[in-house]
Structure 1
């Protein structure tokens, strides 16, 4: 009992000292206007869905540039065209870094992919590779017939379903299938969605992986804003992310190894992985397997 009371007392003392240091550091700097905050959580209690309407209401009271302390993370909200233009032109390099989140650490190779990497030599190299080797007009034109084929498959399916009479069509799922099939055929030369996709374990693993990645990358984790929740692994979030990261890495490495083996046996194809593996032969330090997997994940 005494040990429990001592632990509680030490935790409260630590939190009090942390809040005091935070307030002292803030008082010595000039910040934009902000709404009232609470200890430890800052302005998190102001955030309500939909977020854009919450920010609109706050900006009407505190101006087009306001400061929010979201737990341990300082945030500046900009809601005027002139201020946003200045952020993305005059001060674009200063504001080009990315916040480090737990998902980026475990799902994006320790924040080294294009969306998660901070501005610097590594990010500029990834951007150069993307612009020249993946999204150039020449590379995209190579896959024009592939995209036409996927669109024709979709049109054939729609015409078949409506052959007898009017039919209800759930368009969203069809466009999701189309998008992923186009991307994966360009990346690895494989189809993973639709009725004519092969019913094999690899397809099921891919779909499950995509569902999990979408779930974790489209939601916020409280531990990214309140570090104490990350330390205690609130709701086992870190363990699940680690498992998902290992599963995704194993799957992506399988695609790379399969393309490497096929390339050695039958020669190179036009897929993105094959093209990057060809570049890896001349520049192995630049086109590492991890970099290729990160680009696939992007």
Structure 2
């Protein structure tokens, strides 16, 4: 009986949806035709959702070969414009930057992002500007990042010591993906709340709390990385097809309770040097703005944007080095000559290591952690590349395609760090952290973490592939473009590791 009711309800909704579409079609026939970007043939109601094959950045690149570097798709009822032209990107984030500074309203940002009030999901306006100001002055300022330098040093040392356990005498096989994730999560969590949630035994003080945290992060990654037709077809959202919205609501409740627990814990103990302590001190002077919800939203964005992205970049960078031993040899020579064979690399050394910087830039060019930049939404009509972009259109920038465009880059698909040795790249050609007002505010933290970690790994270990075959560079599905196969490598401690082995880790 229940099945019949569900089928009848679904058919009724389908009829209503088709009727609405016909009414809208008849209304728009009398309105001036907009000059939209070219588009493939579409299906009724679904539009082009059937074309959204993963990985999306490669699918969109293939479509751009046929329909041009600016083309449009219909995801259900929503118009989406995909841009993979540097000149069009420049137009989007200069002349049209304010118009395109909004974010689309999605289920995951609605429920997990405190009803689209976090700095990453909030609409452009006074609230977002205040959040951005807090990020710039209180979280990602040079002063604040310098305060947490000891944490980054300590976590990198822990990683090096762990790698050295079985590799002091000979090469040992190690799995790097999980180690990089542990590193980045622990760095962020120690900055935010002063706790390590990844590690073994005495390294993690509260195992149950750590288990809850890891479970929540896994669930967010699983639900956040899925393309979801419910976002674009109202009928599917009405009936909650697959129960996704209920699942997100339950996850949001657990996440909020966990974050609230962290905030409440610090309220009872005001002595400390974590980001929560600092934000709570601001809450005392401006309680109407620094609410618990604002603080929890800032923590959540830091965790989601500052962990997996850096870990994925480190994994791609090491994969590239293992496949290009000549590059690895050259950067090792740079480290030995610039830093010395008896001194360990430190974070302030990284900016002067031009070739190491080139390796990071080239990795971000070929394997950007957000191959499709975080979606933008137009708040008004505008024009991009001569085409009309109506209000409430979603804009997707295919950074992956621009980074590999042979018209923009010499030998575009080859790994050549040398291309960055003499000068910086045009920001409209290389945009791993986005552009314009909504560009990632955490660039400085990411660069510091990746630079120090990668430099330390190269300086302290010899690296080889696990076999003669090259490392598999196949891209997986997900927001941050992970590798399909987790990176394994052979490492052997270099003599400089003796400095570490004779010391105990300094806890910060």
1:11 deviates by: 3.7
Normalising by structure 1, what TM-score?
0.93
The structure 2 residue matched to 1:276, chosen from 276, 279, 282, is: 279
Q: Deviations over 1:251-294 (max 9, x none)?
A: 0000000011011xxx3x11000000000000001100000000
**Higher RCO structure, 1 or 2 (CA under 8 Å, sep 6+):** 2
Segments of structure 2 that go 5 or more residues without pairing to the other structure are 302-508
Cα distance between partner residues in 1 of 2:59 and 2:110: 29
Cα distance between partner residues in 1 of 2:139 and 2:274: 10
Normalising by structure 2, what TM-score?
0.55
The structure 2 residue matched to 1:218, chosen from 219, 225, 237, is: 225
1:9 deviates by: 6.6
The range that moved more, 220-229 or 91-100, is: 220-229
Alignment partner, residue 180 of structure 1: 185
Alignment partner, residue 79 of structure 1: 84
1:199 deviates by: 5.3
Cα distance between partner residues in 1 of 2:10 and 2:60: 36
Cα distance between partner residues in 2 of 1:253 and 1:9: 43
1:291 equivalenced with 2:265 (yes/no):
no
Are residues 229 and 164 of structure 1, via their aligned partners in 2, closer, same or farther at CA, if it must alter by over 3 Å? same
- Aligned counterparts, 1:203-242, within 5 A: 203-242=210-249
Q: Secondary structure at the match of 2:273?
A: coil
Cα distance between partner residues in 2 of 1:73 and 1:6: 26
Are residues 198 and 163 of structure 1, via their aligned partners in 2, closer, same or farther at CA, if it must alter by over 3 Å? farther
1:15 deviates by: 2.4
Alignment partner, residue 372 of structure 2: none
Aligned length: 293
1:96 deviates by: 0.8
Cα distance between partner residues in 2 of 1:184 and 1:193: 10
Segments of structure 1 that go 5 or more residues without pairing to the other structure are none
1:55 equivalenced with 2:60 (yes/no):
yes
1:246 equivalenced with 2:248 (yes/no):
no
Q: Deviations over 1:196-253 (max 9, x none)?
A: 2235210110110110111111222221011111111111111111111000000000
Alignment partner, residue 197 of structure 1: 204
The structure 1 residue matched to 2:49, chosen from 44, 64, 76, is: 44
Are residues 24 and 93 of structure 1, via their aligned partners in 2, closer, same or farther at CA, if it must alter by over 3 Å? farther
Bigger helix share: 1
Are residues 83 and 26 of structure 1, via their aligned partners in 2, closer, same or farther at CA, if it must alter by over 3 Å? farther
Q: Secondary structure at the match of 1:245?
A: helix
- Aligned counterparts, 1:8-47, within 5 A: 10-24=12-26, 27=29, 28=31, 29-30=33-34, 31-47=36-52
| C-alpha contact (below 8 Å) 2:14/2:235 kept by paired residues | no
1:114 deviates by: 1.1
Cα RMSD after superposing both structures: 1.9
Q: Deviations over 1:45-95 (max 9, x none)?
A: 222233223222322222222121110211111121111110011101101
